[in-house]
């Protein structure tokens, strides 16, 4: 959340309220499903977004890192309130969060505000966290072609050489 220094207290309060006191009522969940479905339709029309979704699916195929950011369009309407609350309870907890203030923010004030507005957040996950293994990276080549498109998308994905590698500058030419 971005705010000016004079709004730090209100920003931390709002963020704390969102994360600690959300209700997740069914009416708003259904509205959000429609919003996400519209976003997915728009994303599927964006060639760069579509390419990147396919890239992550292929290079991290056995891990949640390979899943689409907005989810699968076929699954959006299957999401229930219980699934959302379960996700929140599993992933939103103190040891899994970082509150950062940058710029001309008083550190002591930010710590005090964080303690005040996040005090009822559990310190540890209340449920086991699934699939926390380090994702395995698979080198891949991706070709996407559509005869109705003006161009084709091609991606080559592999671990790149570091700055001190003798092949670094050749890699930049690629």
Mean pLDDT (the chain) is: 87
Q: pLDDT-based confidence at 131, cuts 50/70/90?
A: low
Which of 100, 105, 32 is closest to 70 using CA atoms?
Answer: 32
Fold of 5-173: Cytochrome Bc1 Complex; Chain A, domain 1 (3.30.830)
Domain boundaries, given as residue ranges, for the chain: 5-173
Task: Please state, for a pLDDT cut of 70, what percent of the chain lies above it.
Answer: 98
**Per-residue buried b or exposed e for 79-112, using 16+ beta carbons within 10 Å of the residue's own CB:** beeeeeeeeeeeebbeeeeeeebeeeeeeeebee
Res 20 pLDDT > 70? yes
pLDDT one-digit tens code per residue, 161-173: 889 999 899 888 8
pLDDT one-digit tens code per residue, 135-144: 888 887 777 7
Res 3 pLDDT > 70? yes
Region 21-29: mean pLDDT is 93
pLDDT one-digit tens code per residue, 70-122: 888 889 999 999 999 998 988 899 998 999 988 889 999 999 999 999 999 99
User: To 5 degrees, how large is the angle CA 84–CA 80–CA 20?
Assistant: 25
Q: pLDDT-based confidence at 18, cuts 50/70/90?
A: very high
What is the C-alpha separation between 78 and 7, in angstroms, rounded?
38
CB 36 within 8 A of CB 72: no
Q: pLDDT-based confidence at 149, cuts 50/70/90?
A: low
CB 43 within 8 A of CB 36: no
């Amino acid at each position: 959340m971005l705010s000016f220094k004079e709004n730090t207290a209100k920003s931390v309060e709002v963020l704390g309220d969102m994360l600690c006191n959300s209700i997740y009522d069914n009416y708003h969940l259904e509205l959000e499903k429609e919003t996400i479905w519209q976003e997915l339709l728009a994303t599927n029309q964006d060639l760069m977004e579509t390419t990147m979704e396919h890239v992550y699916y292929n290079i991290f195929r056995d891990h949640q890192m390979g899943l689409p950011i907005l989810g699968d369009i076929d699954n959006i309407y299957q999401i229930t309130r219980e699934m959302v609350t379960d996700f929140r309870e599993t992933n939103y907890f103190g040891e899994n969060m970082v509150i950062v203030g940058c710029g001309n923010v008083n550190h002591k004030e930010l710590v005090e505000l964080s303690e005040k507005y996040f005090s009822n957040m559990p310190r540890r996950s209340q449920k086991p966290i699934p699939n926390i293994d380090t994702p395995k990276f698979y080198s891949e080549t991706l070709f996407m072609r559509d005869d109705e498109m003006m161009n084709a998308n091609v991606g080559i994905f592999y671990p790149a050489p570091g700055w001190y590698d003798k092949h670094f500058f050749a890699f930049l030419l690629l």
